[in-house]
Chains A and B, each alone.
Chain A
């Protein structure tokens, strides 16, 4: 699985969970918060993405990430290490 596929998984979750969002607004450089995702939404997006990737990462590790790219990078790293 490459980072692009992971980005698409995260993007799909964002589209499902965050209200009034335009697909073209979702890019790696932007943060979920700036897209209008509140704290519950952000946890929901990450958990849903982990479920689809079949990995389990403590939520605290996602705390200091700057933007969606940061989330994708961390999920990619964990998938490599622990994923099937």
Chain B
């Protein structure tokens, strides 16, 4: 592969702006960005029965990527002359767990969009972050029975594949990434934690490009049952009507609905994007993580508000500058009302200028990848000049917040905020600006 290295190494010099030059996605409502955008506009939900061979039940509702063809997706993003990249992707993904396949596929889409296959940056100036943890639960669970019967027959690849870092290893090998790399855990806030770390790597001049992948949460029946037993999972009332089960901010909200997705953002220093002469999709202006010091899964209004305020401050902005919020909006009754309280306390008199929606009403709660999926959703809406609907928002829990309705509307927004709050008191918020 021809490497056209345009950038001189610029070690550790502060960079002015961190921008987005590539995006990729695989989700229940879109196998690529175009399909994802179409679904956001149309208000199409990906939530249905997870396993058609099991009877309908609370544990069998979710938004799955079960009909995802790894080979088809990778081929669709790579022109024939990029045969090496295609072969590499197919080989790395061939026997890998589904979550790794999704990471590879979404990374390829984003890398190509950022034109890094043609106008590459030095390997040592490119970083990679895998946002998410406990990514191999479903994979491990699927092997367990055979393992108990005959441990000797466990594939040696298990020793590589069970670790979250396998995503980093596979994608970095494929794309020739030799800068800094690691995984970031933040429960449901993992995605934002990953983006914020990528932003910091670039801001501090450690890398010029950073691939941030929100990795798919491959849950086993144990995690699903755990969420049911702790009361966090929705579908208590609407278990037989999956399309009505995910109800962020609605009075009938009753918990989150599991969603599968992987998403990738290519973060880049603005300088590097200028030199490479590639389109800039958005700017990450800032972000913040605030910990509650709380072992339990309950949310905290002060912590959430602090994350939003710190994010605005880190972006060098005022609350008046925000005109769109992509809420965490998990449809947890306590979570939704806490977030409403936090948004009200931060934005006060500005509330009527800010549309609020929750992408989770369409994609389900993608858990570890949610922050990256929702950043992609935010950027698509900012660029497309629309606000996607809040599905199933029949009776909002608050009339003080300007919630998006049940259909898309045309609206030019400039600066969006995206929130993600995780079990264990992890609050995060990022600020995204349209274009530069």
The interface of chain A, by Cβ under 8 A from chain B, is: 16-17, 19-20, 40, 43-44, 47-48, 50-51, 56
Contact = CB atoms under 8 A, between A and B. Distances in A.
B293 interface: no
A51 B95 contact: no
B94 A40 contact: no
A51 B156 contact: no
3 shortest interchain CB distances as A-B pairs: A19-B91, A51-B153, A43-B156
Contacts of A17: 95
Interface in B147-187: 150, 152-157, 160
A82 to B, nearest CB: 13
B156 to A, nearest CB: 4
A56 B87 CA distance: 34
Contact of A47 (B94, B95, B155): B155
Given A17-B95, A20-B87, A44 B156 contact: yes
B87 A47 contact: no
Nearest to A48: B155
A37 to B, nearest CB: 12
A56 B91 contact: no
A20 B150 CA distance: 30
B95 to A, nearest CB: 7
Contacts of A48: 153, 155
A40 B157 contact: yes
Given A19-B91, A19-B94, A47-B152, 12 more contacts: A16-B95, A17-B95, A19-B87, A40-B156, A40-B157, A40-B160, A44-B155, A44-B157, A47-B155, A48-B153, A51-B150, A56-B152
Interface residues of B, number: 12
A74 B154 CA distance: 20
Most buried by B among A16, A19, A48, A50: A19
B152 A50 contact: yes
- Main SS class of interface, A: helix
A47 B91 contact: no
B431 to A, nearest CB: 43
A50 B87 CA distance: 29
A47 B153 contact: yes
Contacts of A51: 150, 153
A43 B158 CA distance: 12
A54 B126 CA distance: 47
A44 B155 CA distance: 6
B153 A50 contact: yes
Contacts of B95: 16-17
Contacts of B154: 47
A43 B154 CA distance: 11
Interface in B75-99: 87, 91, 94-95
Nearest to B91: A19
A43 B153 CA distance: 11
B104 to A, nearest CB: 14
Contacts of B94: 19
A71 B60 CA distance: 45
Nearest to B155: A44
Contacts of B160: 40
A41 B204 CA distance: 40
Contacts of A50: 152-153
B150 A47 contact: no
Interface string B138-154: 00000000000010111
Interface string B228-247: 00000000000000000000
A43 B152 CA distance: 11
24 contacts: A16-B95, A17-B95, A19-B87, A19-B94, A20-B87, A20-B91, A40-B156, A40-B157, A43-B156, A44-B155, A44-B156, A47-B152, A47-B153, A47-B154, A47-B155, A47-B156, A48-B153, A48-B155, A50-B152, A50-B153, A51-B150, A51-B153, A56-B150, A56-B152
A41 B160 CA distance: 12
Contacts of A43: 156
A49 to B, nearest CB: 10
Nearest to A56: B152
A16 B157 CA distance: 14
Contacts of A20: 87, 91
A48 B156 CA distance: 10
Contacts of A47: 152-156
